[in-house]
C-alpha cells in the first residue's frame, strides 16, 4: 500500500468544496478533485495515484510509487482572475481567503500590498522564498496590479530581512512598486497592522482592506499567482517551516514545495523524527498555531509550520488566562493550561478584543490599550499565576503590572521559543517608527 495523502475539502474561507472524484478513480498530479460551492476554491491533487476514500471533509489519495514534478496544467485562461480561480489560490498566510475574490476588486488609484511580514517567530519560509524567487514574487505583484488595475504596490517587509529586501530591490524595475520596511514585532503581519503602518490609519475590525482602497496579499499567494498565470500551475505545493525537537537538529528547516496533503509526520520524519520527550506539535506559528495530533495532521494550502516543542512546564496551581485576539484564543489557552496541569480559575479578554464573525479581532493590533484591569481581575479571581496570549506590546504592559502584583507570568509561546533557544517575549523594545 502506497502513502496516503489527505486533501481537506475546507482549506479556505467559505463552504467546503465538493468532491468530483470517487473511490477507485485514478488521478494525476494537478488534476481537479473538488469544486467550490459558493465561496471557496478549487482543490487539485498534488500526487498521482488512486482515490481511496472520500468523505464530507476530506479526500484520501494513495500515491503511486513514482511521482514527478510535472502536473496537469490548468486550462488556458483569458484573465488573471480566471487563472487564479482555476488554480484554486487562497491566502497562503493562514486565513485562506479565496484570492480570486480579492482580485475582483477594482482599485483605481488603489494599492496592492504585498504582505511579506513573516511575523510569527520561528517561521521562515516566506522570507526564504523571497530570497530565492524574488523575481517571481514581483511578477505576482504585477499580475495582481494588472487584475485590480492598481497603480501602485507596497511591499511590507521587516527591516531586519536585509537579504530579502536586497533581492527584491534587484528585481524592482520601476517606481510603481515600493518597499516599506516594518519594525520587528508581533503582530506586525496582521493585515490591519500592515495597513496602519503604511497609511497611518486603523481600519475597524469589521472593515476589509478594500475600504482603505487596497488588497493585501501574502508572499506565497503572490508567488502562486505568478505560477498560475505563467506556468498554469494549480496550488498543489506549499512552503512550510519545520522546527523543534527533531533528531536532525531543531532548525528551523524550510521546505519549499511540499505536496499538499502530505502527512506532517513525514516532514518530521525527514528530520529524523521527534527527539525524545516532547510537549506539543504546533501546526502554524507559535502565536496563532494550534497543537494538533501528529497522526491527524496534513499539509494544507494554509499550513505554515510544524513545531515540535519541549514539554510544558508543570504548575499545579491556580492559573488565570488572558486572551488576546492576536495570539491564542481561549480554547488554545485552556489546552496549554491543561498540559501544564494547572487549574484554570478565571479567563478574561484584553479589552481591545472584539468578536467579528465568530473570530476574535483586535481593535489596534500591536498598540496596547492597557492590561492592568485584566491582570487585577485575574488576581481577584484567585489566580496565582497567569498565562497570557498577548502581542508584544500588550505583553510589555502586562509585565509592567503583573510582577508588581507578585503574579508570575507565562506566555503561551514560551515553550515553543524556549525549544528553539530563542528569546521569549517580555518587555521587548518596540520600535514604533
CB of residue 100 to another protein, shortest distance in Å: 28
Choose one: 83-91, 178-186, 300-308, 414-422; the region binding another protein (CB under 8 A): 414-422
Nearer to another protein, 123 or 193 (CB): 123
392 makes contact with another protein (CB under 8 A): no
Q: With binding defined as CB under 8 A, does residue 132 bind another protein?
A: yes
Nearest to another protein of 208, 424 (CB atom): 424
Q: Give phi and psi for 269, each to the nearest 5.
A: -65, -30
Alpha-carbon torsion (270, 276, 282, 284), positive or negative? negative
Residue 248 found at the interface with another protein (CB under 8 A): yes
Residue 150 C-alpha cell reads as 492598481
Name the residue with cell 472584539: 354
Contacts of 209 (CB under 8 A, 6+ apart): 113, 191, 192, 195, 203, 215, 216
Q: Is the dihedral of CA 331, 337, 338, 344 positive or negative?
A: negative
Q: Are strands 58-63 and 4-8 parallel, antiparallel or unpaired?
A: antiparallel
Which one among 29, 139, 142, 250 touches another protein, defined by CB under 8 A? 250
Q: Cell for 34?
A: 473538488
156 counts as binding another protein under rule CB under 8 A: no
Kindly write out the interface string for residues 77-116 of this chain, putting x where it contacts another protein by CB under 8 A and - elsewhere: ----------------------------------------
Longest CA–CA separation in the chain, Å: 65
98 DSSP 8-state letter: B
Candidates 254, 282, 283, 346; binder of another protein (CB under 8 A) is: 254
> In Å, how far from its chain's centre is CA 41?
18
Cell of 75: 486550462
In the bound state with another protein, the residue whose beta carbon lies nearer, of 130 and 195, is 130
Q: C-beta of 356: minimal distance to another protein in Å?
A: 31
Q: Which of 1, 108, 201, 406 binds another protein (CB under 8 A)?
A: 406
Q: Does 311 contact another protein by CB under 8 A? A: yes
User: H or E element: which one contains 361?
Assistant: strand 359-362
| The one among 394, 410, 413, 416 contacting another protein by CB under 8 A | 410
339 touches another protein by CB under 8 A: no
Query: CA-to-CA distance for 177 and 171, rounded, in angstroms?
Result: 10
| Site residues (vs another protein, CB under 8 A) | 124, 127-128, 131-132, 163, 248-257, 270-271, 276-277, 310-315, 399, 402-403, 406-411, 417-418, 420-424, 426-427
Amino acid at each position: 500500500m502506497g502513502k496516503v495523502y489527505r486533501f481537506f475539502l475546507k482549506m479556505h474561507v467559505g463552504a467546503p468544496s465538493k468532491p468530483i472524484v470517487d473511490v477507485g478513480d485514478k488521478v494525476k498530479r494537478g488534476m481537479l478533485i473538488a469544486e467550490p460551492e459558493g465561496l471557496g476554491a478549487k482543490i487539485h491533487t498534488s500526487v498521482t495515484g488512486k482515490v481511496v476514500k472520500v468523505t464530507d471533509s476530506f479526500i484520501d489519495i494513495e500515491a503511486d510509487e513514482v511521482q514527478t514534478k510535472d502536473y496537469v496544467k490548468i486550462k488556458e485562461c483569458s484573465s488573471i482572475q480566471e487563472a487564479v480561480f482555476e488554480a484554486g489560490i487562497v491566502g497562503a498566510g493562514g486565513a485562506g481567503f479565496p484570492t480570486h475574490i480579492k482580485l475582483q476588486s477594482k482599485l483605481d488609484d488603489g494599492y496592492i500590498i504585498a504582505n511579506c511580514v513573516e511575523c510569527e517567530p520561528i517561521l521562515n519560509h516566506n522570507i526564504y522564498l523571497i530570497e530565492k524567487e524574488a523575481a517571481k514574487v514581483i511578477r505576482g505583484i504585477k499580475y495582481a496590479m494588472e487584475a485590480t488595475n492598481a497603480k501602485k504596490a507596497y511591499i511590507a517587509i521587516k527591516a531586519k530581512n536585509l537579504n530579502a529586501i536586497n533581492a527584491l530591490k534587484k528585481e524592482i524595475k520601476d517606481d510603481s512598486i515600493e518597499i516599506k520596511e516594518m519594525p520587528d514585532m508581533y503582530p506586525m503581519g496582521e493585515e490591519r497592522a500592515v495597513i496602519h503602518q503604511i497609511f497611518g490609519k486603523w481600519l475597524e475590525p469589521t472593515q476589509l482592506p478594500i475600504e482603505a482602497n487596497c488588497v493585501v496579499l501574502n508572499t506565497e499567494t503572490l508567488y502562486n499567482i505568478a505560477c498560475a498565470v505563467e506556468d498554469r500551475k494549480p496550488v498543489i505545493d506549499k512552503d512550510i517551516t519545520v522546527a523543534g525537537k527533531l533528531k536532525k537538529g531543531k532548525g528551523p528547516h524550510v521546505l519549499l514545495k511540499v505536496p499538499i496533503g502530505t502527512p506532517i509526520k513525514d516532514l518530521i520524519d525527514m528530520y529524523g523524527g521527534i527527539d525524545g520527550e516532547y510537549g506539543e506539535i504546533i501546526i502554524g506559528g507559535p502565536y496563532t498555531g494550534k497543537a494538533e495530533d501528529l497522526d491527524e495532521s496534513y499539509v494544507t494550502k494554509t499550513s505554515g509550520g510544524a513545531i515540535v516543542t519541549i514539554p510544558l512546564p508543570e504548575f499545579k496551581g491556580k492559573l488565570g488566562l488572558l486572551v488576546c485576539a492576536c495570539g491564542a484564543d481561549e480554547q488554545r489557552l485552556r489546552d496549554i493550561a491543561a498540559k501544564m496541569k494547572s487549574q484554570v480559575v478565571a479567563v478574561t479578554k484584553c479589552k481591545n478584543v472584539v468578536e467579528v464573525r465568530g473570530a476574535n479581532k483586535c481593535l489596534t493590533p500591536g498598540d496596547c490599550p492597557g492590561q492592568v484591569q485584566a491582570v487585577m481581575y485575574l488576581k481577584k479571581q484567585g489566580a496565582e499565576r497567569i498565562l497570557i496570549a498577548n502581542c508584544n506590546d500588550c505583553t510589555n504592559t502586562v509585565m509592567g503590572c503583573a510582577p508588581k502584583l507578585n503574579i508570575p507570568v507565562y506566555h503561551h509561546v514560551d515553550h515553543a521559543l524556549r525549544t528553539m533557544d530563542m528569546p521569549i517575549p517580555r518587555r521587548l523594545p518596540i520600535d514604533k517608527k
